[in-house]
Amino acid sequence: MKLIVQPNTKQYDAYQKAGAKGLLLGLRDFCNDFALTHTIDEIETVKKNFPDLEIFVSLDKMIYDSDLSLLKKHLLALDAMNITGILFYDFALLKLKQELQLKVDLVWNQTHMVTNYKTCEYYYHKGVKYAYLSSEITLDEMLEIKEKSQITCMALLYGYPVVAHSKRKLLHNYGTFLKQTIPNELTVTEPVSKQRYKIKENELGTTFFSEILLNGSKPYLEMLKHDFPYGILKEEGTDSSLFLEMVSSFVTMNETWKTKSDEEKQDWVVRMSQKMGSDHTGFFYQKTIYKVKKNEKS
């Protein structure tokens, strides 16, 4: 498996030394969910300075007519850099790849929508090479997509998952309603489930993140057995030194898992959970089932 880092700092050499095979960089003004974003010139510099790393660039915002002129320039520039792939949310990117005759590969990244092999296979035949799978499907479903579609799969293994995004300035609007100054980052508790979420607002809108760290160390071992192509390690919200240790640990297991006993692998999972301070496996082993709550009066 190739391990790709979504960085929160610019210590690219440290990620490479830790064993990461690539970087996932957010393009400034065109991505919603990245604390650290990069200009076109900065991405080009990273590409030149780290030629052995695969560079993926995220453009995960909805595209408007007013974006098209600058977006086309950016796409042509990225194509000329010979990066590995562009993550997209809006299918305008697929159309523009055809229109501009771009060589760069595309990664379907629609958060909660990348959930089944039939749709992945459909977009593969439309020219999309990669799929960043939803964090709300199970490990078995991810492996099914990998086996039954020709698309190259990616999955989040470590980090705080995105729960939702709105282009509205929800925190700003809330502050206006209360006639108070509300910070651009806030932690809230959902009253029914009692789950806590971190909310961040920027010029592109408002993003909700889970406040529980996703620990994918256990499913990672099963993914290695099935030759799963890519794993994403997301730094935002974690201590940088701890994150580098996590990257190194995932890489070492990637290189040695065939020689380790089942007991050694289980011990590794336990140690990883202790270091992370989380044993939360998200939906890897739990199906996402939403039920409409009945009205008690009916």
For the stretch 254-285, pLDDT in tens is 999 999 999 999 999 999 999 999 999 999 99
Query: Strand ranges (DSSP E) for the chain?
Result: 2-6, 22-27, 37-38, 54-59, 85-88, 105-108, 130-132, 152-159, 162-166, 185-189, 196-202, 205-210, 214-215, 230-234
User: Which pTM does this prediction carry?
Assistant: 0.91
Neighbour tally for 171: CB within 10 Å = 17
Which pLDDT belongs to residue 167?
A: 82
Q: Is the dihedral of CA 11, 17, 18, 21 positive or negative?
A: positive
Does 185 lie in the same domain as 68?
no
Q: What 3 state SS string does 207-259 have? A: EEEECCCEECHHHHHHHHHCCCCEEEEECCCCCHHHHHHHHHHHHHHHHHHHH
- pLDDT band at 290, cuts 50/70/90? low
pLDDT at 291: 61
Residues 122, 229 share a domain:
yes
Q: Is the separation of the CB atoms in 217 and 269 below 8 Å?
A: yes
User: Is residue 189 scored above 60 in pLDDT?
Assistant: yes
Percent of the chain scoring above 70 in pLDDT: 97
Residues in a beta bridge with 4: 22, 232
Average pLDDT over residues 35-48: 96
CA distance 131 to 108: 5
Domain presence at residue 196: yes
Write the single-letter amino acid at 156.
L
Contact 40, 83 (CB under 8 A): no
The number of folded domains in the chain is 2
Mean pLDDT across the chain: 93
What whole-number distance in Å separates Cα of residue 276 and Cα of residue 271? 9
- Percent share of the chain, pLDDT over 90: 74
| Sequence-separated (6 or more) residues with CB below 8 Å from residue 195 | 189, 210, 211, 212
Has residue 60 been placed in a domain? yes
CA dist., res. 90 & res. 61, Å (int): 7
CA 273 to chain centre: 20
Residue 298 pLDDT exceeds 70: no
Q: Is 294 inside a domain boundary?
A: no
**pLDDT higher than 60, residue 177:** yes
Separation CA 92–CA 12 (nearest Å):
30
**pLDDT tens-place string over residues 143-154:** 999 999 999 999
Same domain, 69 and 194: no
Tell me, what's the pLDDT at 254?
A: 97
Q: Write out the residue range of the structural domain in which residue 196 sits.
A: 161-211
As given in the structure block, the two tokens for residue 149 are: 């579609």
CATH number of the domain at 241, please.
3.20.20.70
37 in any annotated domain: yes
Confidence class for position 79, pLDDT limits 50, 70, 90: very high
Give the N- to C-terminal CA distance of the chain in Å, as an integer. Answer: 52
Confidence check: pLDDT of 26 > 50: yes
Judged on CB neighbours under 10 Å (0-12, 13-18, 19+), 230 is: buried
Cβ neighbours of 162 (radius 10 Å): 18
pLDDT at 3: 98
When mean pLDDT is compared across 3-7, 8-12, 161-165, the lowest value belongs to 161-165
- Report which listed range, 35-39, 180-184, 204-208, is most confident: 35-39
| pLDDT tops 50 at residue 293 | yes
Whether 84 maps to a domain, the answer reads: yes
Around Cβ 134, how many Cβ atoms within 10 Å? 22
Q: Same domain for 220 and 254?
A: yes
286 lies in some domain:
no
pLDDT over threshold 80, residue 292: no
- Per-residue pLDDT of 118-131, as tens digits, reads 999 999 999 999 99
